[in-house]
Each structure stands twice: as structure tokens, then as C-alpha cells.
């Protein structure tokens, strides 16, 4: 017997040492204490002042180290997310990885015509149906930002479409606290009330501070609403190196962490123990084009940094995949494969933007199908393999001997399914067989598969009375939000 021998062989990756984590943590605390952040909400400023923060010029708040670290400790280290039916779907903690969609893509490729056009509400429905049929996609989001519905109810309509098109957990944005309140009411209606949603959340809200070092009134109001309701929120800064933060990666992540931690303090002071998911998007800006480089190596490095840091803090972690390519092409495949693998190696928990193209501006449902298969590949890689007496197979090797074969061995029959990953769509035919089948490219394969899903897949329907109640909530919101718009 080998004492202490670890039989499971797993891939591992880490970028920061313990000393580097401490240095970054100290740098962010120093920014919070000496520079401070702008808090554009009077109620929030007074709450921070009462908690021990210093305030100057009415809205610039400096945070004492002890308060930040106290709020880190009060933040939950695990968040359980449920599906529409109340079944556990994701356990966001440790190095558990889950993949899903992103929101707000203003352009969509039409699967039937190949046209790149403005996104419409049907694109939200289509993306949810395709994702519902993809087993490796753990949560859904709007994917598209529809331009064919009123702006003030755009996010509300997206959530209604998703609730009707999939049972999977929902990741959603909102324009402000007003439409977010309606979205939460919709989720409460579906799951059975406010207490039921708090106990079994099936929805995660996404919001963010504004670099450099600013929390807007709208962002704070959404942060507070989620804290009050006990609904998980992903509240992550997103900035560009050399634009809204220092051009150096170390400076960018120090500032981003200060922004994230100050949001964490706001959230935990509002309601201690409320669930929040951390991270940041520190992205290189192409200095020739001013483009936000979604799949750049700098973005992956800074994602790895926050993963190491928030594993140290013990707080659930958000992350991204995606591509700068403007079409489903070789670049899209390269960048989605790289970003999916690296986010998994980071051990990030809530990994979104599967299928993103064009720096987060373009969607294509076929990319969801491709992303599903890439995730399957990556999850098999992350599972590693076991090294035991049975899997080392010395007795089988001795039995077969030189010149034999293993195809008919019981050992092969027992282990081949768990050891060998088999893609459903990637080509493994010989060149001759591939040609006989029409020389179909992978892009054509996933497009055909997405179309087939839309034609044949039937998501589990939402009960008729719930659909009627959602319609009433949306109709009431249309009137209320329109009135608020005109009053403003």
C-alpha cells in the first residue's frame, strides 16, 4: 500500500504565488484607503460613513482595511443555484466549473440566410432553445439584445422569453432597479414567491461598477436590491488597459480589485451574508483600433489573476470565454477553445459568454453548439485520469503480451467509455470517408445542428397560468416604466 499516494491525476494551473496574492491584496487596500472611490448614491455614502469610512467632497469614500477584510469574511464561499423546477443545477464554490451564455449581443447571424442583422426577440428565444438542448451549457442568458421591443422593457421581455424556452438557470442584466424589480417578480412568480426565490435562486443578476473607481447610482441600486432579496449578483468591473485603468497588467488588476472589493463592502453592509460572485474584466485595448480585445492573452492572464485571488478570499468566481472574430471561422474556433480551457484551468465557477463573437457584439446560435462540444472536450481534460493497480493494467499487459491486442479484453470493455471522450460533431472520419460524406466543414455541421435543434427540440413548457401571470407583469411594467420615463 502506498501511503498518501494520490491516485487521481488532474491538470492544475496557477499564476500567483502566495506572496504575490498578498502584495496585490495590499495594493488594492492602499488604493481604497488613500485614493478612495466615487459613490454616486447618498444613502450608500451615509451607510459607508456610519460603518467607519471617511468621506470627502460628498461622494469620494475611503475604506479602512479592517472593514474590507471583515466584509470579505462575511461573504458566502458557496452559492447553490437551482433550475426553474427547483432542482439543484450549480454549486458555485471551490474549483467547480459551470459554463453558460452571455447577454446583450446587438447583432445576430441568421442561421437560415447567413445574414448579419440587428438582433430581435426571436433570437433570444432561439438561443435559449439551442442552449436548452446542449448538455454542457449549464445556464442561459439573453445572448441577443433585441431591437424590436421597447427599450424600457427590453430586459424584461428577454427574461420572459428565457423562462418560457428553457428550465436552466438564468443569468440576466437590467437597465436599472426599476426593471430589475420586475424581473425578480417574474422569477418569484415562477418559483413560488420571494421566500422560494431566496431559498432556491434560479436567477443571477449581472451588474458592474464604472472604472476608474466609480459606483454609479443605478449600479448601487441594483446591488442593494439583490442584497435585499438574497438574489445572487455578479458585480464585476470591466475596464481597458491604457484606457480606464493603467496600461500595465499589475496596475490594472490592482485598480480592478479595489473596485470589486469596494462593491463587496457596499453589498455586505447592505445585507451581511448576501450572495455575490466576484471577478473583473481587465482587457487589453488594441492601440491601433481602440478595440476591446475579448480573446487577448492579456485578458486571460488577468482572469487567471482574479481566479487565484478570489480562491484565496474564498468567494465564488465569474469568468468569460469568447472571440474577437466577426464570424464563425477558424479564429473563432481557436479563441473559444483557448478561452474555455484556460477558464476551466483557472477553476472559475460561473463562466459565461459561450458563443460570443465580435468583442461581445455578435451572436450566432451555431456558436453555442460549437461551444457545447468544446466544453465537453475541456471537461474531459479537466477530469484527468486515475492511476491505480486496475488502471495501470499490468496484469492485462502481461496477459496480452508482445504482438497481441486489447480489443477483445474485458478490461477494454469495462473502461473504454469512461476513459475515451467521443465528440458528437467533430470529424473523426478518414479523409476518404469525409469526402464521400460531402466534405462538410465543421462550421456547416454546427449550423445544421443548430437548425435541427430549433426544428425538433421541445423545451419543457411553462405552465399556462404562469405564462398568463408573466404576461400581466410585463403589461403592468410597460405602463409603469413608460409613466416613469415621461415623469423624468
Q: Which runs of consecutive H residues, i.e. helices, occur in 171-248?
A: 177-191, 194-199, 217-229
Is pLDDT of 1 > 60?
no
Based on the fold, state whether residues 32 and 91 are members of the same structural domain: no
Average pLDDT score over residue span 240-262:
96
Q: In the beta sheet, which residues pair with residue 342?
A: none
| Residues 50 and 130 occupy one common structural domain | no
DSSP 122: H
Q: How far apart are CA 228 and CA 198, in angstroms?
A: 10
Measure the CA dihedral 252/171/159/86, to 10°. -160
Q: Of 383, 414, 436, which residue sits at a domain end?
A: 383
| 112 and 247 assigned to the same domain | yes
Helix (H) or strand (E) holding 343: helix 330-346
The edge-to-edge listing of strands for the beta sheet with 318-320 is 98-99, 350-352, 318-320
Is-cis flag, bond preceding 278, omega within 30? Answer: no
Q: What's the CA gap between 323 and 234, in Å, rounded? A: 21
Task: Answer yes or no: is 188 within a domain.
Answer: yes
pLDDT for the residue 368:
98
* Per-residue confidence (pLDDT) for residue 5, from 0 to 100: 77
Residue finishing a domain among 336, 353, 383: 383
Q: Which three cell numbers stand for residue 81?
A: 443555484
- Tell whether pTM > 0.85: yes
* Domain span including residue 37: 18-72
Q: Which residues contact 451 (CB under 8 A, 6 or more apart)?
A: 111, 112
Q: Quick check: 216 and 40 in contact, CB under 8 A?
A: yes
CA–CA dist 101, 118 (Å, integer): 19
The label of the residue with cell 442593494 reads: 224
Asked, for residue 195, whether it belongs to a domain, the answer is yes
Q: What is the pLDDT of residue 484?
A: 59
In terms of DSSP bridges, do strands 385-386 and 8-9 run parallel, antiparallel, or are they unpaired?
Answer: antiparallel
Angle at 405 between CA 399 and CA 409, to 5 degrees: 65
Over residues 459-477, the mean pLDDT reads 95
Q: Which of 33-42, 391-400, 474-483 has the lowest mean pLDDT?
A: 474-483
Which pLDDT value is given to residue 483? 64
Would you place residue 139 in the very low, low, confident or very high pLDDT band (cuts 50, 70, 90)? very high
The answer to whether residue 371 is domain-embedded is: yes
For helices 249-270 and 18-34, the axis angle rounded to 10 degrees is 70
When pLDDT is cut at 50, 70 and 90, the band that residue 18 belongs to is very high
* Same domain membership, residue 182 and residue 109: yes
Q: Which percentage of the chain shows pLDDT scores above 90?
A: 93
Query: Residue 150: which of 469, 487, 482 has the closest Cα?
Result: 482
77, pLDDT greater than 70: yes
Domain membership flag for residue 2: no
CATH code at 202? Answer: 3.20.20.480
Same domain, 288 and 359: yes
Whether the per-residue pLDDT at 168 is higher than 60: the answer is: yes
Q: Per the structure, how many domains does the chain have?
A: 2
The pLDDT value recorded for residue 488 is 39
- Single out the residue in 42, 72, 102 at which a domain terminates: 72
Q: For residue 398, what pLDDT is reported?
A: 97
The answer on pLDDT for 485 being more than 50 is no
Same-domain status, 234 and 97: yes
Alpha-carbon distance of 121 to 113, in angstroms, equals: 17
Pairing of strands 88-92, 79-82: antiparallel
Domain shared by 340 and 198, yes or no: yes
Residue 400 belongs to some domain of the structure: no
pLDDT > 70: percent of the chain: 98
Statement: residue 387 has pLDDT above 60: yes
Same domain, 254 and 369: yes
Give the pLDDT of residue 288.
Answer: 83
The pLDDT of residue 471: 96
198: its cell numbers? 431566496
Q: What's the pLDDT tens digit per position in 363-378?
A: 999 999 999 999 999 9
Residues 247 and 110 in one domain: yes
Question: How far are the Cα atoms of 100, 131, 160, 182, 474 from residue 467, in angstroms, in the given order?
Answer: 24, 21, 9, 15, 11
Whether 64 and 102 map to the same domain: the answer is no
pLDDT in tens, 444-461: 999 999 999 999 999 999
64 lies in some domain: yes
Domain identity same for 240 and 368 = yes
What pLDDT does 230 receive? 98
Instruction: Please indicate, yes or no, whether residues 339 and 237 belong to a single structural domain of this protein.
Output: yes
**Is pLDDT of 487 > 60?**
no
End-to-end CA distance of the chain: 75
For the chain, what is the mean pLDDT?
A: 95
pLDDT in tens, 315-355: 999 999 999 999 999 999 999 999 999 999 999 999 999 99
Q: Does residue 5 belong to any structural domain of this protein?
A: no
| Residue 477 within a domain | no
Cβ-contact 153, 179 below 8 angstroms:
yes
pLDDT band per the 50, 70, 90 thresholds, residue 486: very low
∠ CA 478-483-486, rounded to 5°: 125
What is the average per-residue pLDDT within 283-302?
A: 87
What integer is the mean pLDDT of 24-39? 98
Amino acid at each position: 500500500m502506498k501511503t498518501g499516494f494520490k491516485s487521481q491525476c488532474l491538470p492544475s494551473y496557477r499564476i500567483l504565488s502566495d506572496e504575490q496574492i498578498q502584495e496585490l491584496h495590499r495594493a488594492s487596500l492602499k488604493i481604497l484607503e488613500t485614493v478612495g472611490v466615487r459613490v454616486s448614491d447618498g444613502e450608500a455614502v451615509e451607510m459607508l460613513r456610519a460603518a467607519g469610512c471617511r468621506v470627502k467632497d460628498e461622494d469620494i469614500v475611503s475604506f479602512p482595511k479592517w472593514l474590507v477584510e471583515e466584509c470579505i469574511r462575511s461573504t458566502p464561499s458557496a452559492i447553490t443555484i437551482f433550475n426553474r423546477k427547483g432542482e439543484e443545477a450549480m454549486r458555485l464554490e471551490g474549483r467547480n466549473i459551470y459554463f453558460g451564455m452571455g447577454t446583450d449581443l446587438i447583432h445576430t447571424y441568421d442561421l437560415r440566410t447567413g445574414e448579419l442583422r440587428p438582433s430581435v426577440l426571436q433570437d433570444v428565444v432561439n438561443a435559449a432553445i439551442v442552449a436548452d438542448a446542449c448538455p454542457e451549457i449549464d445556464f442561459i442568458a439573453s445572448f441577443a439584445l433585441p431591437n424590436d421591443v421597447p427599450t424600457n422593457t427590453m430586459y424584461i421581455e428577454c427574461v420572459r422569453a428565457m423562462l418560457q424556452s428553457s428550465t436552466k438557470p438564468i443569468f440576466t442584466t437590467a437597465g436599472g432597479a426599476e426593471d430589475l424589480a420586475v424581473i425578480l417578480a417574474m422569477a418569484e412568480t415562477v418559483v413560488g414567491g420571494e421566500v422560494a426565490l431566496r431559498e432556491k435562486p434560479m436567477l443571477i443578476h449581472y451588474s458592474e461598477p464604472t472604472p476608474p473607481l466609480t459606483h454609479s447610482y443605478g449600479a448601487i441600486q441594483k446591488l442593494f436590491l439583490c442584497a435585499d432579496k438574497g438574489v445572487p449578483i455578479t458585480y464585476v468591473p470591466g475596464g481597458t488597459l491604457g484606457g480606464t485603468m493603467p496600461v500595465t497588467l499589475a496596475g490594472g488588476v490592482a485598480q480592478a480589485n479595489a473596485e470589486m472589493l469596494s462593491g463587496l463592502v457596499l453589498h455586505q453592509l447592505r445585507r451581511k451574508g448576501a450572495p455575490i460572485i466576484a471577478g473583473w474584466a481587465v482587457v487589453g485595448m488594441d492601440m491601433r483600433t481602440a478595440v476591446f480585445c475579448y480573446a487577448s492573452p492579456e485578458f486571460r492572464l488577468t482572469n487567471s489573476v482574479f481566479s487565484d485571488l478570489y480562491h484565496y478570499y474564498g468567494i465564488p468566481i465569474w469568468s468569460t470565454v469568447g472571440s474577437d472574430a466577426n464570424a464563425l471561422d477558424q479564429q473563432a474556433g481557436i479563441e473559444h477553445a483557448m478561452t474555455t480551457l484556460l477558464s476551466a484551468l483557472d477553476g472559475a465557477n460561473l463562466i459565461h459568454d459561450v458563443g460570443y463573437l465580435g468583442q461581445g457584439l455578435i451572436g450566432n446560435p451555431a456558436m453555442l453548439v460549437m461551444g457545447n462540444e468544446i466544453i465537453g472536450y475541456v471537461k474531459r481534460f479537466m477530469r484527468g485520469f486515475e492511476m491505480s493497480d486496475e488502471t495501470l493494467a499490468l496484469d492485462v499487459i502481461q496477459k496480452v503480451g508482445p504482438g497481441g491486442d486489447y480489443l477483445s479484453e474485458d478490461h477494454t470493455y469495462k473502461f473504454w467509455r469512461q476513459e475515451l471522450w467521443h465528440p458528437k460533431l467533430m470529424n473523426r472520419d478518414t479523409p476518404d470517408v469525409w469526402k464521400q460524406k460531402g466534405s462538410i466543414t465543421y462550421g456547416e455541421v454546427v449550423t445544421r445542428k443548430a437548425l435541427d435543434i430549433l426544428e425538433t427540440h421541445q423545451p419543457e413548457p411553462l405552465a399556462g397560468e404562469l405564462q398568463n401571470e408573466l404576461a400581466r407583469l410585463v403589461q403592468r411594467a410597460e405602463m409603469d416604466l413608460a409613466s416613469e420615463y415621461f415623469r423624468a
